[in-house]
Chain A
Amino acid sequence: MGETRDYAVKMHHVTKTFGKVVANKDVDLELKNGEILALLGENGSGKTTLMNMLSGIYFPDYGDIHIHGIPVTIRSPKDAFDLGIGMIHQHFKLVDVLTAAENIVLGLDGKTTVNRKELNKKVAELASRYGFEIDPSKKVYNMAVSEKQTVEILKVLYRGADILILDEPTAVLTPQETEKLFAVLRNMKADGKSIIIITHKLHEVLSISDRVAILRKGEYIGVVETSETNQDQLTEMMVGRPISLEIERPQLERGEKRLKVVDLTCLNGDGIKALDNVSFSAYSGEILGVAGIAGSGQKELCEVIAGLYPTIGGAVLYTDEREDGPVKESILGLTPDQIVEKGISMAFVPEDRLGMGLVADMDMTDNVMLRSYKNNKGLFVDRKTPKKVAEQLIEEMEIVTPGVDTPVGRMSGGNVQKVLLGREIALSPSVLIVAYPVRGLDINSSYRIYDLLNEQKKKGVAVIFIGEDLDVLMELSDRVMVLCGGRVSGIVDPRKVTKEDIGLMMIQVNEQKEEEDV
């Protein structure tokens, strides 16, 4: 260990509990001056909690913090600012109707009047120093996600922070934007800033950081030099045992065209087109991946097909050549129960698991019957069958819960997702739509989910998989459809394109590329 002065941050024996949950247990973390430290860990391993204590949002139960060698008490975000610590959160905290520059100075001491011209110049100077591309007078509501992130970073830099914490900054970026961000981070490092970047993407850790600190289940596992490690070692430290990172993609003969979507157009709450002439087909026995920057129309697409979102044009046609006679239906505009009445079993795992897919306060039995309680004749609900299904799910899906009577809201994210996906699969669907199914899940649960999706594919289900991790999308999907601003910018074979190709399609629609209906 070097001289105390060499370290921008030293956290020792830091412990934080929430009720009985120990979020951080006796964690040590050291950030050298002028380095980029990656803080790696699975969801729920306590990365964000630890950083929130550094930025004054939480107060540690125990432990001490040294900044530049001086012991400090950080009671509020203001204390953290005064110490030169700035955190860029996953969820941006910007005022939509103000410009970039206005957001940057918002809340700072100063004169009652603002000289916008001078302010814009100062912000532009700061931005160019680190290589940001930004128009200081642009309103936040006109900005893309990556621009908003830039504003957040500049806000922190403008306040003179020399210790920056970025919480999963790449989760919302395309590969190209990620590269740009990394270039900026390297510039900042060269300028003497010390940076902590929270992430769970291993290849990013390897490309940007100098050292990697690993947390597992709230405990500090260790720190390694990035140059001396590799993905396998990091995974093992993160998960606790070696694990294969291969995602299977069973090669199957593609089945019939199950779902044909034609020129789907719908509006969002502001009257802007959330989907714009979206056309594609989903086939039985394949996984169709859907890529795109967050908010490119993925949510609307899922909900339109599931019968939950109004459209202003287009068609959704369903075909199923079943043994008991073919089913051909136009399902656009039908409500979920009308779709069921047509004899179509459409499973949908929405993005908002506890706000749409499940009822947090209800137990597993009541949640299992959410989609099937109407099957029972008469006035009363039948809880016996769903209870059996719930017990079966616990066993088959290895769900960890005290029992079928525990509210699902009390279960961990991975188990909640298993309940939801398990219930939907139990419907024996012919179409399965999953939106961000592994968000917030640990590696193990994620791979279990991929397996389940592959199982459904093998059964001849048409799987539509909305994802955010391009690596996963490209390994798991048979075809990848890329959305950009509500339009389809292409449907590609992931074996024949690179990640960068898809990244480009995520930010611009290539007009020549018409959908090849293969």
Chain B
Amino acid sequence: MKVKSTQIKEPLLRMVKRDAVSPKKAWEIRAIAFLLSLVTGGLLILVLGHNPLSVYKSMVVGAWGSKTVMYETVKLAVPLLITAIGISFAFKMKFWNIGAEGQILVGAVAAGAFGLFTAHIFPKLPLVILMLLAGMAAGGLYGLLPAVCKAKWGTNETLFTLMLNYIALAFIKYLMNGPWKAPGSSFPKIAMLVPGARLTKVLGVHWGWILALVLVVAAYFYFNKTKQGYEIAVVGESNDTARYAGINVSKVFMRTMFLSGALCGLVGMLQFSGADYTITEGTAGGVGFTAITVAWLAKMNPYGMLIVSIFIAMLERGSNTIQTNFKIPASASDLLIGIILFFMLGCEFFITYRLILRGKEEHHG
């Protein structure tokens, strides 16, 4: 029997962990994944009976083609970005806050409490500041609750934060149908914010975008340069190590979740006073969940989140455009976004591992 005899039954496909991948190689893989996603999406468009190139072009034009659509794209990106930054606070310490939706909603409600009912008392500036603080405080407290329970009784934060989303949603429905129902309206809806209290526009979009950019820098600084950021990183890696280092893990949980919730609450306030001018069940509109994708794709790096949130906002705007221009159903354009995100998330696997076909590996010996 010769040496080669045992080679024959090698498994067809093997997974091998790569050594550290150079950034250049990683970007190559991402670029290939993006192209492949366009090709796959193109097949879908072909099946629907359209020219993929013109559909893709119309997506880009629909997002960036004119000032008006650009404003809309930025308006979509702002809440995504701030929410992503907010949840990355929690995610960095491996606290799975999927309650951003709820935190956004309570933020909006708290801002609404001032915006809708005290606009005649306060001048604009103090009113906006009041709304801002109220929104952040409400979101923060709503985020603090699961942290306190986890610190005290070890509750599961994933379930806890998820359930709080539904409570916030139900609360808004109650407000719409009851105490906050707009006077004279036959529909269950909440009144509009008076124009005088709406956020000022800077270069066409409410100033929330400037705040978002400031937060990107601030968050990066917080994570990398401050003691609190360092503590978050240590807690995220191992609670035992954190205790060993003399870090009060419960305190870090609570402090960080308050910040995380406060940023999400800020989004609620911005959406209310800068974009929608009212509060509905759709005020959060899935931003709290999409932001999870943003944070992961950016690997919790705030600058990465800036790019990813603009990219996703573009996809969403673009998908609206192709729905109207090509009569492509909403479900199909959502599928298209799904395909692109699937490839982008999936390629991270190929950055960590490579696959080896049977017999393709060179042998030592």
Chain A contact residues, CB within 8 Å of chain B: 12-13, 15, 17-20, 22, 25-26, 59-66, 71-73, 75, 306, 308, 335-337, 340, 348, 350, 352, 355-362, 366, 369-371, 373-374, 376, 379-381, 410
Q: Which residues does chain A contribute within 8 Å of B237, judged by CB atoms?
A: 359-362
Chain A min CB distance to B251 (Å): 11
Docked-complex contact A19 and B6, CB < 8 angstroms: no
Nearest residue, chain B, Cβ from A74: B6
Q: Which residues does chain A contribute within 8 Å of B201, judged by CB atoms?
A: none
Docked-complex contact B17 and A370, CB < 8 angstroms: no
Docked-complex contact A62 and B245, CB < 8 angstroms: no
Docked-complex contact A19 and B18, CB < 8 angstroms: yes
Docked-complex contact B240 and A352, CB < 8 angstroms: yes
Partner of B227, one of A72, A355, A373: A373
Docked-complex contact A362 and B365, CB < 8 angstroms: no
* Chain A binding surface SS class: mixed
Nearest residue, chain B, Cβ from A65: B6
Docked-complex contact A63 and B234, CB < 8 angstroms: no
Docked-complex contact A381 and B226, CB < 8 angstroms: yes
Complex alpha-carbon distance, A371 and B242, angstroms: 10
Docked-complex contact B234 and A17, CB < 8 angstroms: no
Partner of A71, one of B6, B10, B17: B6
Q: Which residues does chain B contribute within 8 Å of A376, judged by CB atoms?
A: 227
Interface size for chain B: under 10, 10 to 19, 20 to 34, or 35 or more residues?
35 or more
Q: Which residues does chain A contribute within 8 Å of B244, judged by CB atoms?
A: 306, 308, 336, 348, 350, 356-357, 370
- B203 an interface residue at 8 Å Cβ cutoff? no
16 A-B pairs within 8 Å (CB atoms) are namely A18-B17, A19-B17, A19-B19, A62-B7, A64-B3, A71-B6, A73-B6, A73-B9, A355-B241, A356-B241, A357-B244, A371-B245, A373-B227, A379-B227, A379-B228, A381-B227
Q: Which residues does chain A contribute within 8 Å of B228, judged by CB atoms?
A: 379
Chain A min CB distance to B205 (Å): 32
Could you list 12 further interchain pairs (A-B, Cβ under 8 angstroms) beyond the known A19-B19, A25-B365, A336-B245? A15-B365, A19-B16, A26-B365, A61-B364, A63-B6, A355-B238, A359-B233, A359-B238, A362-B233, A370-B234, A371-B246, A373-B230
Docked-complex contact A336 and B246, CB < 8 angstroms: yes
Q: Which residues does chain A contribute within 8 Å of B247, judged by CB atoms?
A: 337
Docked-complex contact A366 and B230, CB < 8 angstroms: yes
Nearest residue, chain A, Cβ from B228: A379
Docked-complex contact B230 and A374, CB < 8 angstroms: no
Q: Which residues does chain B contribute within 8 Å of A60, judged by CB atoms?
A: 6
Complex alpha-carbon distance, A369 and B233, angstroms: 13
Partner of B234, one of A65, A75, A359: A359
Q: Which residues does chain B contribute within 8 Å of A306, judged by CB atoms?
A: 244
Complex alpha-carbon distance, A20 and B354, angstroms: 13
Q: Which residues does chain A contribute within 8 Å of B240, judged by CB atoms?
A: 352, 355-356
Docked-complex contact A15 and B363, CB < 8 angstroms: yes
Complex alpha-carbon distance, A427 and B228, angstroms: 22
Q: Which residues does chain A contribute within 8 Å of B246, judged by CB atoms?
A: 335-337, 340, 371, 374
Q: Which residues does chain B contribute within 8 Å of A65, judged by CB atoms?
A: 6
Complex alpha-carbon distance, A433 and B226, angstroms: 30
Chain B min CB distance to A345 (Å): 13
- Whether A64 contacts B5 in the complex (CB less than 8 A), given A359-B241, A366-B230, comes out as yes
Docked-complex contact A62 and B225, CB < 8 angstroms: no
Complex alpha-carbon distance, A244 and B16, angstroms: 40
Chain B 107-122 interface mask (CB, 8 Å, partner A; 1/0): 0000000000000000
Chain B min CB distance to A378 (Å): 8
- Whether A370 contacts B364 in the complex (CB less than 8 A), given A18-B17, A59-B11, comes out as no
- B1 an interface residue at 8 Å Cβ cutoff? yes
